[in-house]
Structure 1
Amino acid sequence: MTTTYTSYRLISQDIGKSLDRISKQPDVARETEYYLSKIGSIKSIDAFMEDSRLYNYALKAHGLEDMAYAKAFIRKVLTEGITKDDAFANKLSDTRYKELATSLNFAAYGEAATSFDRAQKDVVAQYTRQTLEQEAGSDNTGVRLALYFERMAPSITSGMGIIADDAMSQVFRTTFQLPAEFAGTDIDKQAALVEKAIKMEDLQDPVKVGKLLERFTIMWEMENPSQVNTSTTILGSSAGFGISSDLLLSINTLKLGGK
């Protein structure tokens, strides 16, 4: 059996080739072709949400495919956009919603929102990466966690950024051999320990991130010798599996108005 580290490195060391392989898979190529052929003609949030293939593609690209049913929730995210500090997406702790509203910024650009690269090529790139990580996770959850951490690391500027993300927090705990109970301790103390263990500026350095993930994959292999796939619980709200608990109340108050 290929080790977690070896599997991760095979994908990561030539990420361009790995992504190209994914993009050429028939189902991915078919959905991408459809998305690119249609998205530029979409002029409103209504039109976007009425086309299920476009809608599902964009949500998966942002790791939100588990939220496809919550159309009222997604509509509110897109309607309010990101310009105002009190916009719905800006108030959510989960940054994926802000990223979606940035890619499809109907609130700011109206009918022109889908004409930008961020709504077309950038979404395709995100969709391909998400598919790659999901495929890797079907064989080995540790590989998916490592790829996810690698992708997200440059955007993290504080220990709280890691603690607030279930998947990244799992990578941290595994890497430094912290018990699961650590996640239940005071959150500020957790964040402080993260910043003591990892220099935040190192997350901008691919080499240093790679060394951190080498340690993680070795520790993961030691803790999970049977390679039981637990991605549905670990990656939860971080990567498109399940719903973050802090969103449930908002979803319940909105879904009756969904289409």
Structure 2
Amino acid sequence: MTTTYTSYRLISQDISKSLDRVAGKPDVARETEYYLANIGSIKSINDFMADSRIYNYALKAHGLEDMAYAKAFIRKVLTEGVANEEAFANKLADGRYAELAKTFDFAMFGQATTSFDKAQRGVVDNYLRQTLEQDAGDDNAGVRLALYFERKASTITSGMSVLADDALAAVVRVALGIPEEVAASDVDKQAAFIEKSIDVEDFQDPEKVGLFLERFTAMWELHNPSDNYDPLAVFGSSAGHGISPDLLLSINSLKLGGR
């Protein structure tokens, strides 16, 4: 039996090889080849929106694959850019939109936007990582969450920054066994509870992040055994372990993204 932690470590301990395996998948290789061959010819937001393969690839790279249908919304994000504090993307709580606008900052750079490395190889790197995490999640959502947390841990600066990202918050709640009543409480109280329970500065240290994810995967495995993974099985377990059925269901429906 391969546990959640073992599966996570098999991917994480040699992330370059894991990403190479993803890059070699025929469908991924085909879309990546198309993206790199054509992104340089995209000179405007209209061009970007008109090429569905470029558009979908870029959105997936930013964790926004599920928002590809909302073209008017995405157009507004790109049209206003990020230079102005009042820009649409800057007002959204979800930072993925601002990241998309930074990568494709047509508002600032016009036709030169797609000539920068961040819009070319940078997008490809993000696409491969997103695909890697999604593929892992198809087998075990806990592995996907662990990989996501590992990637984003260095951006955590406070309890509130944890709560601002649903996936990060889910990992922390599971790892700490946060009771349902705390998870449903005022966000300021939740942030204070998190900061009291862990030193967020530890997340700047990869070794300490690894130890934290050992704890998370152990707690996840306790309620979602890998030999019979079923998030609904927790309904038959004791409520005293600190992970509620509602929390587990919400974890399995999370939309993970970001850079």
TM norm structure 1: 0.89
The equivalent residue for 1:46 is 46
Figure out how many residues of one structure are paired with residues of the other and give that number.
Answer: 240
Displacement of 1:157 in angstroms is 1.2
1:156 aligns with 2:173: no
The equivalent residue for 1:254 is none
- Evaluate the alpha carbon distance shift between residue 45 and residue 21 of structure 1 in structure 2; reply closer, same or farther with a 3 A threshold: same
1:165 aligns with 2:182: no
Describe how 1:96-111 pairs up with structure 2 within 5 A: 96-111=96-111
Partner amino acid for 1:42?
A: I
The equivalent residue for 1:246 is none
**Given that residues 61 and 123 in structure 1 are in contact (C-alpha distance below 8 angstroms), is that contact kept between their aligned partners in structure 2?**
yes
CA distance in 1: counterparts of 2:250 and 2:138, whole angstroms: 13
Displacement of 1:93 in angstroms is 0.7
What is the aligned-residue identity percentage?
66
- Evaluate the alpha carbon distance shift between residue 164 and residue 140 of structure 1 in structure 2; reply closer, same or farther with a 3 A threshold: same
Describe how 1:178-217 pairs up with structure 2 within 5 A: 178-217=178-217
Displacement of 1:87 in angstroms is 0.6
CA distance in 1: counterparts of 2:197 and 2:179, whole angstroms: 15
Cα shift readout 1:196-251 (whole Å, capped 9, x = no counterpart): 222222111111100000110001000112322689842656416xxxxxxxxxxx
Match of 1:228 among 227, 230, 255: 230
Cα shift readout 1:95-140 (whole Å, capped 9, x = no counterpart): 0001101111111100000000110101000000000000000000
Match of 2:256 among 239, 243, 257: 239
Describe how 1:130-141 pairs up with structure 2 within 5 A: 130-141=130-141
**Given that residues 142 and 220 in structure 1 are in contact (C-alpha distance below 8 angstroms), is that contact kept between their aligned partners in structure 2?**
yes
Cα shift readout 1:15-36 (whole Å, capped 9, x = no counterpart): 1110111011111010000000
Partner amino acid for 1:135?
A: D
**Given that residues 224 and 231 in structure 2 are in contact (C-alpha distance below 8 angstroms), is that contact kept between their aligned partners in structure 1?**
no
The equivalent residue for 1:65 is 65
Give secondary structure in 1 for the equivalent of 2:145: helix
CA distance in 2: counterparts of 1:181 and 1:220, whole angstroms: 19
Computed over aligned residues only, the root mean square deviation of the Cα atoms, in angstroms, reads 1.6
1:12 aligns with 2:12: yes
Cα shift readout 1:1-49 (whole Å, capped 9, x = no counterpart): 2100000000011111101110111110100000000011100000000
CA distance in 1: counterparts of 2:140 and 2:17, whole angstroms: 20
The equivalent residue for 1:250 is none
The equivalent residue for 1:257 is none
CA distance in 1: counterparts of 2:249 and 2:80, whole angstroms: 30
Partner amino acid for 2:59?
A: L
**Given that residues 173 and 180 in structure 1 are in contact (C-alpha distance below 8 angstroms), is that contact kept between their aligned partners in structure 2?**
no
Give secondary structure in 1 for the equivalent of 2:125: helix
Gaps of 5+ in 1: 241-259
4+ residue runs of structure 1 moved beyond 3 angstroms?
229-233, 235-238
CA distance in 2: counterparts of 1:148 and 1:229, whole angstroms: 19
CA distance in 1: counterparts of 2:207 and 2:181, whole angstroms: 30
